[in-house]
Chains A and B, each alone.
Chain A
Amino acid sequence: MNIDRRTLLKGAAAAAGLAALSPLHALAAIPKPTLPLKIGFVYVSPIGDAGWTYQHDLGRKAVEESFGDKVQTKYVESVSEGADAERVIRDFAANGHQLVFATSFGYMNPTLKVARAFPKTVFEHATGYKQAANVGIYAARYYEARYLAGIIAAKMSTTGTAGYIAAFPIPEVVMGINAFVRGMRSVNPDAQLKVVWVNAWFDPGKEREAALTLAAQNADVLTHHTDSTAVVQAAEEKGLYAIGYHSDMSKYGPKAHLTAATHHWEGFYRKVVQDVIDGSWESSNVWGGLKDGMVDLAPLNPVVPGDVAALVAQKKQEIIDGKLHPFAGPLFDQDGRQVIGAGASLTDEELLKMNYYVEGIVGKLPK
């Protein structure tokens, strides 16, 4: 698997800063662990049947399956992103876990704090931006799958309007919205996307209300960047189409569910575990996409015509081959201002700061 090192300089600077603060920690190599390697997973929500944590747990199970007796995994679910997180992470480290996966953004500072106290334990933190000698970070390029999902949405929509239920206007979410509408407009230049912010990661009631609102305003394909399955269920009830997120949500709306933009941590987790066992682990910053198998589309609903499926497969290959970038120029923002010209693409750094809507989106981005 390829590893993208975004903002290498920044990471190096951070490492240097840390080294200056505590030279011993930065220099101490991670020793080869004693087998079985004890691995701890910290989950922000219950595992359930679908969603963010469910996908991480699939990764954990994959590690158990691949490494058998060589590993022992343990997880703690529903760990809130505050004082609890530090206690759980510290417990893992203190009880001989030599590798800890902290799978939510809010675990960033607790992870770093515990990592300073346990320099010989390896920590991997999902979706954060602070590294240390024994703390690696990882995330996925969800926007690549969003772009493909947008193509399907535009092809399946009869009104040319899709609806997007979103949690909070942070770059990660805005990136997904923009990629989705770019995908839509790549096959239907007049397509529109209406966005409703519910200001909650998880509120099934509000997500449903927002879905019904969008349905009432002509959106006939709905998708979401929130954590419940309420949007897919609402679409099923209203006879509309839906595109799930995190996990394959087809069982929540067998007719409505066209596909889902899914995350896959199995490959990455296996690699990290192998590296730790080999004693070759190094702190890195991984941002993997379709190419690395870290994001994908769930199997398409049979109602998606063959030519659309073929087009999506082709675009997916082009993204994997690096021939297509969802944010390739010319790129215009919502007000028609050119962000970048033809021939250029947004850099990773620009993507991670995205705070504007591209053209095709109805509404203003909350500031």
Chain B
Amino acid sequence: MNDWLPILATTLAAATPLIFAGLGELVTERAGVLNLGVEGMMLIGAVSAFAVASSGGGLLLGTLAGIGAGMAASALFALLVLHCLANQMATGLALALFGVGLSAFIGRDYVSHVLDGVSGYTLLDGLPPLDPFIVGSLGLFALVQWFLYRSRGGLVLRAVGESPSTAHALGYPVRLIRWAAILFGGACSGLAGAYLATDYTPMWVEGLSAGRGWIALALVVFATWKPARLLAGAYLFGGVTILQFHGQALGLAVPSQFMSMLPYLATIVVLTLISRRGHAIRLNAPASLGQVWHPDS
């Protein structure tokens, strides 16, 4: 038990940013919008959260700033793809690159500053203190799961993702719903960034997210657009990293490069399965994903 507790704790922590960003992107994609800019929104959220928190704003305000900045970045994306009818993939990639540059620019004066980090609260004696972000990620999962499958709003959102023209004909405000889904995705990415910059590694350095946004994107596909599978996938991806570190330190002869490759390999396997046994899995893929849609078309 004592050996497993630290592994469990670090796995939870490693999976948390993936859960936040992954859930946000999942909701966005369920509304039929593919936003590849997760990495960029995450970095913009991270640097904003860090800037506010380290300038005396405190962690709560910092986290809110991160969420707000993520939303602002996603609003730009929404404007381009929903109103200017820009290609979603190109715009998303541009947002990812823009986010890397913008966050580095904003963060110039904060490079290598450090924060105290978040102190967890103890739930049960003997257990390690719980981190509010980790608890929050589980809460967000429950919320998304409930919203998508148990609420009317979720049903409408999924309908928009499947066939925006049908939803439009039924009188649903497709563009507004997509706006909301994109903003939610941005908020979640910003939150993931805020977690990285204020809690996980409480500092700001260029490229802090180190590719986690891309893993989150892969995770949505890996999870075949289902929140519960996304949660499991995040723990799997997080756990693989942690386990390979433990294996190395214990002297197990597993090539670390192979273990580092596993999450991506798993995603490729899922993608292959989707394309081969399409009927079973593609059912979950939003039918209008990535397609430009305009009310007058």
Contact = CB atoms under 8 A, between A and B. Distances in A.
A367 B245 CA distance: 16
Given A163-B249, A205-B14, A229-B112, A216 B7 contact: yes
Interface residues of A, number: 44
Given A46-B111, A199-B256, A208-B200, 14 more contacts: A45-B206, A46-B108, A46-B206, A50-B112, A78-B206, A199-B260, A204-B203, A204-B205, A205-B208, A208-B201, A212-B10, A213-B246, A214-B245, A363-B251
B66 interface: no
A208 B108 CA distance: 23
Interface string B211-222: 010000000000
Contact of A203 (B13, B108, B113, B210): B210
B117 interface: yes
Interface of A: 45-51, 78, 163, 194-200, 202-210, 212-217, 219, 228-230, 233, 237, 251-252, 362-364, 366-367
B202 A233 contact: yes
A50 B205 CA distance: 11
Interface residues of B, number: 39
A21 B203 CA distance: 50
Contact of A204 (B3, B7, B208, B255): B208
Nearest to B200: A205
B114 interface: yes
Interface string B10-23: 10011001000000
A48 B112 contact: yes
Contact of A233 (B6, B201, B252): B201
B241 interface: yes
Nearest to B208: A204
Given A196-B248, A229-B114, A366-B257, A209 B241 contact: yes
B242 interface: yes
A213 B201 contact: no
- Of the listed residues B3, B10, B248, the one surrounded by the most CB atoms of chain A closer than 10 A to its CB is B248
Contacts of B207: 202
Contacts of A199: 256-257, 260
Interface string B158-190: 000000000000000000000000000000000
Interface string B62-94: 000000000000000000000000000000000
Nearest to B206: A46
Contacts of B241: 206, 209
A200 B206 contact: no
A273 to B, nearest CB: 27
A144 B253 CA distance: 29
B134 to A, nearest CB: 14
Interface in B218-266: 241-242, 245-246, 248-253, 255-257, 260
B262 to A, nearest CB: 12
A51 B203 CA distance: 14
B10 A202 contact: no
A230 B201 contact: yes
16 contacts: A46-B104, A46-B111, A46-B206, A48-B111, A204-B210, A205-B201, A206-B210, A209-B245, A212-B10, A213-B242, A213-B246, A213-B249, A217-B246, A217-B249, A364-B251, A366-B256
Nearest to B112: A49
B10 A49 contact: no
B157 interface: no
Nearest to B9: A212
A178 B111 CA distance: 32
B59 interface: no
The 10 closest A-B pairs by CB, nearest first: A216-B6, A49-B112, A204-B201, A213-B245, A363-B251, A48-B111, A203-B210, A48-B112, A194-B249, A362-B251
Nearest to B252: A363
